């Protein structure tokens, strides 16, 4: 076939140019392969090293490293206090058996109201029996099971504990009004047991529920401390020993913080498992959250409030709320022990209170409890007259002479928003509200935030 004269001649390159082009093409693709390999290697290396750092940070706390490791094995119902507590809570569920005014120590019920409440308590004597059986058990195992995503964990026992706590509180009030203070002390000890049972499993929210139950209990004991009769001596001494046993409560907050720490880590890990390429991102966020928990742990171990603020100088509401509530609780337990020791002293000295708290040592207290809000480690301040009271310097760290006027307007009185946190050793009443009629104030009630007595 003849060549087409109009077809251009094919371009031919010299062999040197062809060889150079092939060499450049190989280097180009080889460079891409190396670049992609380096990027992938750096990605997996960063992911591996971040996970190693996270595991080391988890191991630095000691103890379990997974939420699954915190799960307690099941035990027989006969030896499990949770079985009896659940049964008691079920008997009280959806039953408005108590009026909140019965929990107000400054309210004086009429004889008819006392008879009604006594009948109600007698009708539910099985609840008190179940609570007594729960106290006799060696352990309380709620059977909390942690799912892969811990956000879906169920903690129904916390509501059960809140329902159960009101019942012995009202029973203690009714027993005290009848002069059966030894029985009332046993009900208070049941409340302290419920607080411990609430904290046996779960994250920091379980600890807060236990703190609330214990705070309610000690508040009510302090309010009637100067009215307790001599039949309750043994019960008061047992409660003093329990309130001053801070070793067990330190273990409770340590367990709650460890569970909260592992909870946050597993939440981030769960996000990393869902998004393969973002695992390193979620691990980095988990690592970034750990210093907050480490500083919070140190703040809860601090001896006073000012030291806790320095150890946990993080601009976040969560750590401040946790260690502040922990130190407030510590102040309340110690003040409760001092109040009961003052009553024991008065019973042995013709109803006369001591001039100074030093007289309580060593007969009634092993040593004077320190005020956790005082940076210098001083004990609680005390005034015998005109109103017997023990008080803490509160968050400002200075003694303002038992100043219990709120620093800001509040709907209800709160000793923790005052310059000094005052614990009156007798029932106290809030100032009457003009919009409604309050229950009658007893003759021995002290008005909060004011100088007068009723």
**pLDDT higher at 193 or 203:** 193
pLDDT over threshold 80, residue 397 = yes
pLDDT of residue 436: 37
**pLDDT higher at 101 or 113:** 113
The three-point CA angle 140-146-148 to 5° equals 175
- Average pLDDT (79-85) is 92
Domain presence at residue 430: yes
- Average pLDDT (109-121) is 78
**pLDDT higher at 358 or 291:** 358
Domain presence at residue 439: yes
pLDDT of residue 356: 92
pLDDT over threshold 60, residue 415 = yes
pLDDT over threshold 70, residue 103 = no
pLDDT of residue 341: 96
Using pLDDT thresholds of 50, 70 and 90, give the confidence band for residue 449.
very low
What is the tens place of the pLDDT at every residue in 341-357?
999 999 999 999 999 99
Domain presence at residue 409: yes
Domain presence at residue 200: no
Query: Which of 296-300, 371-375, 376-380, 435-439 has the lowest average pLDDT?
Result: 435-439
Q: Identify whether the C-beta of residue 121 lies closer than 8 Å to the C-beta of residue 170.
A: yes
Query: Which of 109-113, 243-247, 347-351 has the lowest average pLDDT?
Result: 109-113
**pLDDT higher at 371 or 265:** 371
pLDDT of residue 333: 94
**pLDDT higher at 406 or 213:** 213
- Average pLDDT (10-30) is 71
What is the tens place of the pLDDT at every residue in 289-315?
788 888 888 888 888 888 888 887 666
Number of domains in the chain: 1
Compute CA distances 359 → 197, 315, 338, 363, whole Å.
Answer: 35, 43, 11, 8
Taking each helix axis from N to C end, the angle separating 81-92 and 125-136, rounded to the nearest 10 degrees, works out to: 160
- Average pLDDT (315-331) is 85
Look up the domain containing 403 and give its range: 380-454
Using pLDDT thresholds of 50, 70 and 90, give the confidence band for residue 440.
very low
pLDDT of residue 161: 87
Using pLDDT thresholds of 50, 70 and 90, give the confidence band for residue 412.
low
Average pLDDT, the chain: 81
Domain presence at residue 359: no
Tokens 């769960």: give the residue.
270
Query: Which of 16-20, 198-202, 226-230, 281-285 has the lowest average pLDDT?
Result: 16-20
Q: Cα(311)–Cα(288) distance, rounded to whole angstroms?
A: 17
Tokens 């309340």: give the residue.
332
Q: Identify whether the C-beta of residue 443 lies closer than 8 Å to the C-beta of residue 120.
A: no
Domain presence at residue 28: no
Domain presence at residue 356: no
Note the maximum CA span of the chain.
Answer: 139
pLDDT of residue 68: 87
Using pLDDT thresholds of 50, 70 and 90, give the confidence band for residue 164.
confident
Domain presence at residue 402: yes
């Amino acid at each position: 076939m003849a060549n087409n004269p109009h077809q251009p001649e094919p371009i031919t390159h010299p062999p040197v140019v062809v060889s150079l082009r092939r060499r450049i093409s190989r280097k180009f693709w080889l460079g891409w392969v190396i670049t992609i390999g380096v990027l992938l290697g750096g990605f997996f290396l960063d992911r591996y090293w971040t996970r190693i750092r996270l595991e080391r940070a988890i191991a630095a706390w000691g103890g379990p490293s997974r939420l699954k490791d915190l799960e307690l094995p099941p035990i027989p119902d006969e030896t499990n206090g949770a079985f009896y507590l659940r049964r008691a809570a079920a008997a009280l569920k959806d039953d408005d058996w108590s009026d909140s005014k019965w929990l107000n120590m400054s309210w004086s019920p009429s004889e008819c109201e006392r008879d009604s409440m006594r009948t109600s308590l007698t009708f539910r004597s099985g609840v008190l029996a179940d609570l007594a059986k729960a106290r006799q058990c060696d352990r309380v195992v709620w059977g909390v099971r942690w799912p892969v995503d811990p956000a879906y964990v169920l903690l129904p026992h916390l509501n059960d504990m809140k329902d159960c706590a009101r019942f012995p509180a009202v029973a203690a009030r009714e027993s005290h009004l009848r002069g059966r203070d030894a029985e009332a002390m046993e009900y208070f000890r049941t409340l302290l047991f419920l607080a411990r049972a609430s904290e046996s499993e779960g994250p920091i929210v379980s600890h807060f529920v236990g703190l609330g139950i214990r705070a309610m209990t000690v508040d009510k004991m302090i309010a009637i401390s100067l009215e307790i009769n001599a039949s309750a001596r043994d019960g008061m001494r047992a409660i003093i020993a329990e309130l001053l046993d801070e070793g067990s409560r330190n273990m409770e907050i340590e367990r709650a913080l460890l569970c909260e720490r592992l909870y946050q880590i597993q939440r981030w890990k769960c996000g990393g498992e869902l998004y393969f390429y973002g695992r390193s991102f979620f691990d980095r966020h988990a690592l970034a959250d750990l210093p907050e928990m480490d500083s919070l742990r140190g703040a809860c171990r601090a001896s006073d409030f000012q030291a806790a603020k320095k150890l946990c100088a993080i601009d976040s509401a969560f750590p401040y709320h946790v260690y502040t509530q922990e130190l407030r609780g510590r102040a309340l337990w110690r003040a409760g022990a001092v109040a009961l020791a003052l009553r024991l002293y008065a019973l042995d000295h013709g109803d006369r209170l001591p001039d100074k708290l030093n007289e309580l040592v060593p007969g009634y207290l092993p040593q004077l409890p320190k005020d956790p809000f005082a940076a210098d480690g001083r004990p609680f301040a005390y005034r015998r007259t005109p109103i017997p009271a023990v008080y803490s310097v509160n968050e400002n760290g200075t003694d303002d002479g038992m100043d219990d006027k709120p620093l800001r307007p509040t709907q209800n009185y709160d000793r923790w928003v005052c310059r000094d946190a005052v614990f009156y050793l007798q029932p106290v009443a809030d100032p009457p509200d003009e919009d409604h009629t309050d229950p009658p104030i007893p003759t021995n009630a002290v008005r909060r935030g004011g100088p007068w007595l009723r």
